[in-house]
Amino acid sequence: MGGCSSQSCHRCFFEYETERMIVVKSKVVGSVFRLIQFLILFYVIGYVCVVQKSYQETDSVISSVTTKVKGTGFTNTSDLGGRVWDVADYNIPPQGESSFFVLTNMIVTPNQTQSTCPELPNQSTICMSDSDCLEGSNDVRGNGIQTGLCMNYSETVKTCEVLSWCPLEIDINLPEHALLVAAEDFTVLIKNSVTYPKFNFHKRNILPDVNSSYLKQCEFNRKTDPDCPIFRLKDMVSEAEEDFQTMATRGGVLGIMIDWNCDLDWPEHYCGPKYSFRRLDNKIPENNVAPGYNFRFAKYYKTTDGRETRTLIKAYGIRFDVIVFGTVNAVCSWFLLTCTKRRDYYSKHKFTYLDNTDDNAGEPVSY
């Protein structure tokens, strides 16, 4: 504020300071000056406004996903005989959540009961006599509680006996070709509804122009049917550049990404889901330790005399994880909401919590 003494403060308050300017009249200097001005203007408009869209208001997606798998397959194994598999058999968990598993290969151990049997042979279980086995011992990598006896596992090998679900599962003979070969033709209907609460924008991946009869026979194809929400399992795996039969044999995890990034300043018509697929578990060849995806589950039965038996299934298959993401930008819609009377309308509907949802990107996607 330059030289304002306290006594002249009142007068000083109404002073206005400005720089003294020099005007240089030269075509060269002037051209350079204008060029620099233009570049700055170009940067602000071109990059900040058009590319970064910094002037726009943003909001993050709230999403809900349900899935439904269709198809039946047939297997013929020595353990189970001929058997038809439908969705209630191979789809685990059955709830149609955003993550679902399709069983494609398995090792079945039927008729297990709580009893005793010799351990599977390995360095720590092979024994010569009972003195090699410790009663009550419970190795975390073993299959049960040792009874202290040494029993014939085969004609040539003796192993320590364990109390366990017997007979034990022998999981070294995984079928080389996935048992449920038909799984590649199974289809899944993915229903996905999204909400951008700040803009009161709702949309689902079943677009308005899709009708029931189309939905009954369509199948997603990036070129011919990009809007069909029904996906053939093999097609999804192929788009992720994987081979279905290879993946089906040892299992894996496949991500189904649905991208809802939109610019609401354009007509709603342009805001639609974009699908992409990617294998999520790793199969780097040089680090191929513990590959694939499998888990064990059991079906429990009771015999007529009340004893419990179970069928143990080591299930190999593909877990599909639907991942929804998206941020929406808009300046027009935002002005509508902020400046017009509709604001009151929205306020009345208690959407006050919505101002914070952009801090929670992605959150609502998971279940």
Selection from 91, 92, 83, 86 nearest residue 72 by Cα: 86
Cβ distance to a copy of itself smaller for residue 193 or 238:
193
CB of 191 to a copy of itself, least distance (A): 6
Question: Least distance to a copy of itself from the beta carbon of 358, Å?
Answer: 9
The burial of 352, by beta-carbon neighbours within 10 Å (0-12 exposed, 13-18 middle, 19 or more buried), is given as exposed
Give the range of 41-49, 95-103, 126-134, 337-345 binding a copy of itself by CB under 8 A. 95-103
Q: Return the structure tokens found at 251.
A: 């299992």
Q: Which is nearer to a copy of itself, 38 or 42 (CB)?
A: 38
Of 220-249, which residues contact a copy of itself (CB under 8 A)? none
Of 35, 71, 277, 314, nearest to 170 by C-alpha is 314
| Of residues 34-53, those binding a copy of itself (CB under 8 A) | 34
Q: Give CA separation, 305 vs 110, 111, 117, 167, 308, in Å.
A: 18, 15, 22, 19, 9
How far is Cα 342 from Cα 344, in angstroms, rounded to an integer?
Answer: 5
Per the annotation, binding residues for ATP are 68-70, 187, 294-296, 314
Q: Is there a contact between 220 and 233 (Cβ–Cβ < 8 Å)?
A: no
Binding mask 181-220 for a copy of itself (x = CB under 8 A): -x--xxx-x-x-x-x------x-x-xxx-xxx--xx----
**Interacting span for a copy of itself (CB under 8 A) from 20-28, 39-47, 151-159, 242-250:** 20-28
Shortest spacing between CB 27 and a copy of itself, in angstroms: 5
- How many residues of this chain bind a copy of itself (CB under 8 A)? 130
230 contact partners, CB below 8 Å, separation of at least 6 = 187, 188, 189, 190, 215, 218, 219, 220
* Min separation Cβ 176 and a copy of itself, Å: 20
Nearer to a copy of itself, 257 or 336 (CB): 257
Binding test (CB under 8 A) with a copy of itself, winner from 148, 167, 272, 364 = 364
55 binds a copy of itself (CB under 8 A): no
CB nearer to a copy of itself: give 27 or 177. 27
Nearest to 61, CA basis, from 262, 208, 205, 332: 262
361 near a copy of itself, judged by CB under 8 A: yes
| Cα gap 106→174, rounded to integer Å | 7
Query: What whole-number distance in Å separates Cα of residue 151 and Cα of residue 159?
Result: 6
The pair of three-digit structure tokens given for residue 294, joined into one six-digit string: 């499998």
Touching a copy of itself, residues 313-352 (CB under 8 A)? 319, 321, 323-327, 350
* Strand runs labelled E in 141-221: 145-152, 158-166, 187-196, 201-204
Binder of a copy of itself out of 5, 6, 7, 22 (CB under 8 A): 22
In the bound complex, what is the minimum distance in angstroms from residue 97's beta carbon to a copy of itself? 7
Alpha carbon 54 to its chain centroid, in Å, reads 30
Residues within the annotated binding site?
68-70, 187, 294-296, 314
Q: Give the one residue of 295, 335, 340, 343 binding a copy of itself; rule: CB under 8 A.
A: 295
Q: Which of 180, 354, 332, 196 is nearest to 267 (CA)?
A: 332
Please tell me whether residue 263 binds a copy of itself under the rule CB under 8 A.
no
Contact pattern from residue 266 through residue 285 relative to a copy of itself, giving x for each residue in contact according to CB under 8 A and a dash for the rest: --------x-x-x-xxx-x-
Beta-carbon contacts of 273 under 8 Å, excluding residues fewer than 6 positions away, are: 192, 205, 258, 259, 260
**Which residue lies nearer to a copy of itself by CB, 72 or 331?**
72
Residue 131 CB, nearest distance to a copy of itself (Å)? 22
Collapsing DSSP to helix, strand or coil, 7 comes out as helix
Single out the residue of 49, 53, 56, 72 in contact with a copy of itself (rule: CB under 8 A): 72
